[in-house]
Chain A
Amino acid sequence: MATVHNWQLGRDMEYPYEGARPEKQFCMIMDTNKCIACQSCTIACKSTWTWGKGQEYMLWNNIETKPFGFYPTGWDVNVLDLLAEQSWNGGTYEGKTLFEAAPTGEKVLGWTPDEEDWNHPNLGEDEPTGDAETVPYLAENPHSMMWMYYLQRICNHCTYPACVAACPRDAIYKRPEDGIVLVDQERCRGYQECLTACPYKKTMFNLETRVSEKCIGCYPKVEQGLQTQCTTACIGRLRLTNFLSHPDEVDPRKPADYLVHVKKLALPLYPQLGLEPNVYYVPPVHVPVDYLTQMFGPGVEQAIETYRGAKDDPELLGLLMLFGSTERIIDTFDVKKGVARGYDENGKEIVAVPLREPTFVRPFEFVSEVKGEQVTGYRHNT
């Protein structure tokens, strides 16, 4: 076992391989507040990559309702149950990671889904919590009313993947150029150890080819400077494909660095598991903080406050408006004089988005000439 540093946990931890960070790390930012679960992202991914035979049940991207929705059933509550209660001390995680809590003879603490668990992605969809008999539907305190929200999930292309750790054949690897994690289709022998190990359950077995597959981070697009299919298809414009730097090398002009390291608005998913996942979420502002802290770590309250203040923060607001504005990956951005701009790696402008659309209100009453006579007209701005 090697010792590696996990910045999300604020400490070193054990991992079966030596730590090696990629040149740049593929990441995705999700603004959960904007999601309506239209599943356009899911359809985009499925119709691109997983519409083949043997892949019928696979959802490399899925949207599930929280708290009662899962794909596969119980994926997060089961692994949290296994790990049992752990604790944070401020920004430092004092509990065990899945590697540190691995049972003797195993590399990762994990549970194995049954076949049936993959068959009900809509279970719990649109189901809020709260007992309708006792919880007021409209309440003064939003945290006492019934709530639910949508969680968007892809492979997190973790810095310390559990799938990589569990594979006995080194058939899963993390690309050094962009940190995308892939299953080597030639090397895999279908042992499905990765299916047990990945806590997010994003490696999946292909019933026809008898080897396992996973989200590929749309690497053919990323290699061309384009955002992923799920990002591009999102009609809520809530996703951003980007590259995240290590906290010691932050560049505030880079969108992911700005949102994750500078504003601390976007948080990792279940960081306590210890994988250093690279999909970051703006937490839903209406959900109880206790629930969110278990899911996104200790920075939730501050992130919600930052988000609520975005209307008075033109730089943050401008960046959020760049989401969904271009299919190309934005390397740097700036917001000047009410316009947010995204630039490519050469500094060339890709896209410009005004923070306010220019508006012109036509007057209600106006005068014009008809057959030589002055006529007053009334215009309804409908």
Chain B
Amino acid sequence: MKKVKFRDIIGKQSTLAILVLLVLLLSVTTPSFRTVGNMVNILKQVSMIGIISCGMTLVVISGCLDLSVGSVFSLLNVIIISLQQRSNLLAITVAIIVAVLIGLFNGGIITAFDMNSIIVTLGSLSLIGGLALLYTNGAIIHGISDTWFSVIGKGRVFGIPVHVLVFLFIALIYQILLTGTSFGKKIRYVGVNPEAARIAGIRTGKIRTLTFIISSLSVAVAAIIYSSRMVTGSPVTGVGYEFSAITALVVGGISLRGGSGSIFGTIIGVLILAVIVNALTLYNVPFSIQNIVKGFLIIIAIIADIRARREIEF
């Protein structure tokens, strides 16, 4: 009896257990890991990819996938920096409008034609990436620092970076959206069984399109933070972000089949990846090996997810 209970807890929070074990193990073995500076560093590094992953989580729970986030990030980055020279407010406004339009485009055509979201967004990955390159003609552009805009990326409140607070705020809002509202419930229903959801009167197309808009908007927030922190815009900054986000989701136990998952899981996934990358960097493991580790993690996590589901089914 007792044993079963223990297994249930581990089963439900297995990703959290892995994260805790990982941190404990590294703290014991690696002195440079357990410093406060390093911990803050990890948190600082996760805020942008964390925000993007939180947005992606809603898309995945609704049964789709958004591969275009990396290109959207690059495009918004160069748009913000180019307009920031004129006005900060204008830059932010335009970035948000463009993000909404991109989300509307992705979600709109996927749901209108009932198409495979992975392949459509693979198309928009190329399309939007090309637009970002065209926008600056492939060049890196520079913005203006030392305005109120830089507070977003560089400022601190009670010693905590503003962008980390933004990340936590967004995570909280999305978690409430998912668990406490009827919209969140509908996202789950659509993900579990779109056909049944449609028959039950849920407008599946509208729900899915909204998740794509939320995903692009999250990317906009991340791009604003990045632009504010780096004050440069490059049309290739976001290359590969889509895979980092997907890896984080899968590691965090969000099923790519849709219907299940939580923001909490995503955050754990983001943190596990960040801790692993941090440890690999501390041990001077080259970047390429880090990609191999990520690939392995995805496959292991997918296998674990399917196994867990099968146990529930039978």
A and B: interacting chains: no
Interface residues of A, Cβ cutoff 8 Å to B:
none
